[in-house]
Amino acid sequence: MTEPVSAPFYEEEHEEFREAAREFTAREVAPHYAAWDAAHRVPRSLWTAAGAAGLLGLAVPEGSGGLGLADYRFRAVLDEELVREGALGVALALHLHDDWVLPHVLAHGTDEQKQRWLPPMLTGELVTSVAWTEPGAGSDLRGVRTRAVRDGEEWVLTGQKTFIGNGISGDAALVLARTDGGTGRAGEDGLSLFLVHKADSPGYGTGRQLDKMGLRASDTAELFFEDVRVPAANLVGAEGGGLRQIRQLLPQGRLAVAVAASAVARSTLESTVRYTAERTAFGSRVLDFQHTRFELAELTVEVEVTEAYVRQAVHAFNAGALDLVGASKAKYWAGERARSVTDRCLQLHGGYGYILDYPVAQAYLASRLLTLFGGTSEILRETIGRDVAGGT
């Protein structure tokens, strides 16, 4: 295959969008990313700049103030450009807002909720988080213990969440809570989703910021809810419909991770080719050792196969045909490839690969999350395996 895989996948309009995304990342992200990494936080000005550049909420219809770019290739372009600058942390922070929260508002929000939330989500004035995981419930969301009890026109929310991205820097969280009053594992109708705003919610506490091994520019935190009064108008979707809504919209979240993982594998491979072409040992370029060329040959094929597979999933998503099994396959494959490609690329850097100044070290640490977040590789294989077994 001599043609780059990307040639038929992206069309002229995507490449025009790439120019805008590249200009944005060069101006607003690249010069500051190291400082954000050290501060363990991206500033609000990044979000409002992204909003001003029209990069948030691409899928929001024009009638609601967005650009109506539901074609996921535009999101993929933005991820690729952020990853090319080494800013996977920014890409994933945007994912939470755009691929994990926004779909719920678009698919299940009332007209009133859309009017209230979409404009500030588009401008970056309302930054959102996904608050599903708890200390006792990660893979198994039926174990969620945060509870919401109806009291007139409000719900009273009590509980604790952990691992919440944008948890400190964000303004509101899409919280998964038990609404059937039960204890033990929840049934199919036992959980609901609420958008809970930090500023006007006494009892909404932010716990410690978790010290991650990679992706340090994005904040990840514990959240606490102590008798937080949430307006009934902030229930997103049907009471008791939380698990069904999550299953329905999870394909987009998993596709987003797959797209980012594929982009990390590609950009790490490219920077490794450059590095091995510059580095010399025993009087020759590291690139010219047969072992290096074999490694890079294998890695190139792996990256191209991954791109092709993920792009097929993007096409399926655009056609409304990406189900949970398809998205799980794409995330499983791309997440595991990002992990192995960054590991093998690090090896080709020798000792410098271990030094955080080098992009490969950052990519290695960052990509380790991609087989954990949004469904671990074990859970993904469970989903895929059940589908395989179901056909026998």
Ligand X SMILES: Cc1cc2nc3c(=O)[nH]c(=O)nc-3n(C[C@H](O)[C@H](O)[C@H](O)COP(=O)(O)OP(=O)(O)OC[C@H]3O[C@@H](n4cnc5c(N)ncnc54)[C@H](O)[C@@H]3O)c2cc1C
Q: How far is the C-alpha of 160 from the C-alpha of 148, rounded, in Å?
A: 12
Q: What is the 3-state secondary structure (H, E, C) of the chain?
A: CCCCCHHHHCCHHHHHHHHHHHHHHHHHHCCCHHHHHHHCCCCHHHHHHHHHCCCCCCCCCHHHCCCCCCCHHHHHHHHHHHHHCCCHHHHHHHHHHHHHHHHHHHHHCCHHHHHHHHHHHHHCCCCEEEECCECCECCCHHHCCCEEEEECCEEEEEEEEEEEECCCCCCEEEEEEECCCCCCCCCCCCEEEEEEECCCCCCEEEEEECCCCCCCCCCEEEEEEEEEEEEHHHEECCCCCHHHHHHHHHHHHHHHHHHHHHHHHHHHHHHHHHHHHHCEECCEEHHHCHHHHHHHHHHHHHHHHHHHHHHHHHHHHHCCCCCHHHHHHHHHHHHHHHHHHHHHHHHHCHHHHHCCCCHHHHHHHHHHHHHCCCCCHHHHHHHHHHHHHHCC
**Quick one: 46 or 164, whose CB is closer to ligand X?**
164
Work out how close the CB of 124 gets to ligand X at its nearest, in angstroms, rounded to a whole number.
Answer: 18
**Quick one: 5 or 372, whose CB is closer to ligand X?**
372
Chain residue at closest Cβ approach to ligand X: 138
Work out how close the CB of 23 gets to ligand X at its nearest, in angstroms, rounded to a whole number.
Answer: 28
Work out how close the CB of 295 gets to ligand X at its nearest, in angstroms, rounded to a whole number.
Answer: 28
**Quick one: 311 or 329, whose CB is closer to ligand X?**
329
The residues of the shown chain that bind ligand X, judged by CB under 6 A, are 96, 129-133, 138-139, 163-165, 212, 220, 369, 372-374, 376, 378-379, 382
**Quick one: 179 or 220, whose CB is closer to ligand X?**
220
**Quick one: 300 or 376, whose CB is closer to ligand X?**
376
Work out how close the CB of 69 gets to ligand X at its nearest, in angstroms, rounded to a whole number.
Answer: 24
Work out how close the CB of 92 gets to ligand X at its nearest, in angstroms, rounded to a whole number.
Answer: 8
Work out how close the CB of 382 gets to ligand X at its nearest, in angstroms, rounded to a whole number.
Answer: 5
**Quick one: 169 or 271, whose CB is closer to ligand X?**
169
**Quick one: 61 or 138, whose CB is closer to ligand X?**
138
**Quick one: 56 or 269, whose CB is closer to ligand X?**
56
Work out how close the CB of 122 gets to ligand X at its nearest, in angstroms, rounded to a whole number.
Answer: 20
Work out how close the CB of 185 gets to ligand X at its nearest, in angstroms, rounded to a whole number.
Answer: 13
Work out how close the CB of 212 gets to ligand X at its nearest, in angstroms, rounded to a whole number.
Answer: 5
User: Taking a C-beta distance cutoff of 8 angstroms, is the pair 250, 327 a contact?
Assistant: yes
Q: How far is the C-alpha of 331 from the C-alpha of 334, rounded, in Å?
A: 5
**Quick one: 269 or 365, whose CB is closer to ligand X?**
365
Q: What is the 3-state secondary structure (H, E, C) of 210-258?
A: CCCCCCCCCCEEEEEEEEEEEEHHHEECCCCCHHHHHHHHHHHHHHHHH
